[in-house]
Amino acid sequence: MTSRPRSIVVLTGAGISAESGIETFRAAEGLWANHHVEDVATPGGFAKNPQLVYEFYNQRRRQLLSSEISPNTAHSALAKFEHEFDGKFLLVTQNVDNLHERAGSQNLIHMHGELLKMRCLNSRLVFDVGTDFDYDTHCRCCGSAGNLRPHVVWFGEMPLQMNRINTALENCDMFVSIGTSGNVYPASEFYQTAKIRKASTVELNLERTGSSFDQHVCGPATESVPQFFESLLRS
């Protein structure tokens, strides 16, 4: 049994949404299985072939909005924990889906952006989007076509709200990483930032990754996440 912390930061990755039917990135049949990463996840790829990138995200947005996809028990367990916990709680997700908010999570940062948002390249204004869009779509602020891009963070770009995330990491006494391979900086270093202030660090993942957390729990998120957070509430 883990003793109850006063301030918790949780990081989630694609693994938490896998059992909702959304593919992870690096699995053999994952989101990048039929693409070169540099073609669909870099500013250079977008500049070279915007239509390919628009279609990649349009297809994922259509899937997210379909009736097949809904939050699972891991998303719900985090929302329940946040609601019942009497300390500080910040949920940072690398995922661009909206399953955490649909499950009821509130104090949430999408550090790699959101699939249901687009951004104007001129004004940097961000808009909600629930349909396909592409090079020919006219922007709501400047009225021109060719100015809209997915509001996501690609390689070489700065993740969102890093100041807020770092402050929370530096002041937490528990850091929990769920369903992420730990391949992508800066999220891959969050556990080390938390450790500097002696926070306990926990990994919940299907399999153990290379990072050295204080505690590793292996198993599907729909089992490990409800069990871990229920036990924390009872501690």
Q: How far is the CB of 132 from ligand BJW (least distance, A)?
A: 16
Q: How far is the CB of 18 from ligand BJW (least distance, A)?
A: 4
Which listed residue (20, 76, 180, 211) binds ligand BJW by CB under 6 A? 180
DSSP characters over 184-205:
STTGGGHHHHHHHTT-EEEEEE
The angle subtended at Cα 61 by Cα 59 and Cα 65, nearest 5°, is: 120
Q: Does 26 bind ligand BJW (CB under 6 A)?
A: yes
Which listed residue (34, 143, 156, 163) binds ligand BJW by CB under 6 A? 156
Which listed residue (19, 134, 214, 230) binds ligand BJW by CB under 6 A? 19
Q: How far, in Å, CA of 198 to CA of 186, rounded?
A: 19
Active site residue 75: no
Q: How far, in Å, CA of 60 to CA of 180, rounded?
A: 19
Q: Does 20 bind ligand BJW (CB under 6 A)?
A: no
Residue 33: burial class (beta carbons within 10 Å; 0-12, 13-18, 19+): exposed
Q: Closer to ligand BJW at the Cβ: 18 or 90? A: 18
Q: Does 226 bind ligand BJW (CB under 6 A)?
A: no
Question: Could you give the 3-state DSSP secondary structure of residue 23?
Answer: coil
Residue 148: its H or E element: strand 148-152
Q: Does 210 bind ligand BJW (CB under 6 A)?
A: no
Question: Could you give the 3-state DSSP secondary structure of residue 95?
Answer: coil
- Span of 126-134, 141-149, 168-176, 204-212 interacting with ligand BJW by CB under 6 A: 204-212
Q: Closer to ligand BJW at the Cβ: 53 or 232? A: 53
Q: Nearest 10 degrees: CA dihedral of 46, 131, 129, 116?
A: -70
Q: Does 28 bind ligand BJW (CB under 6 A)?
A: no
Which ranges in the chain belong to alpha helices (H)?
15-18, 37-40, 43-48, 50-65, 73-84, 99-103, 162-171, 190-196, 221-234
Binding residues for ligand BJW restricted to 157-176, rule: CB under 6 A: 157-159, 162
Q: Does 103 bind ligand BJW (CB under 6 A)?
A: no
Catalytic residue numbers read: 112
**Residues binding ligand BJW (CB under 6 A):** 13-15, 18-19, 24-26, 30, 41, 94, 96, 112, 152-159, 162, 179-181, 183-186, 205-207, 209, 220-221
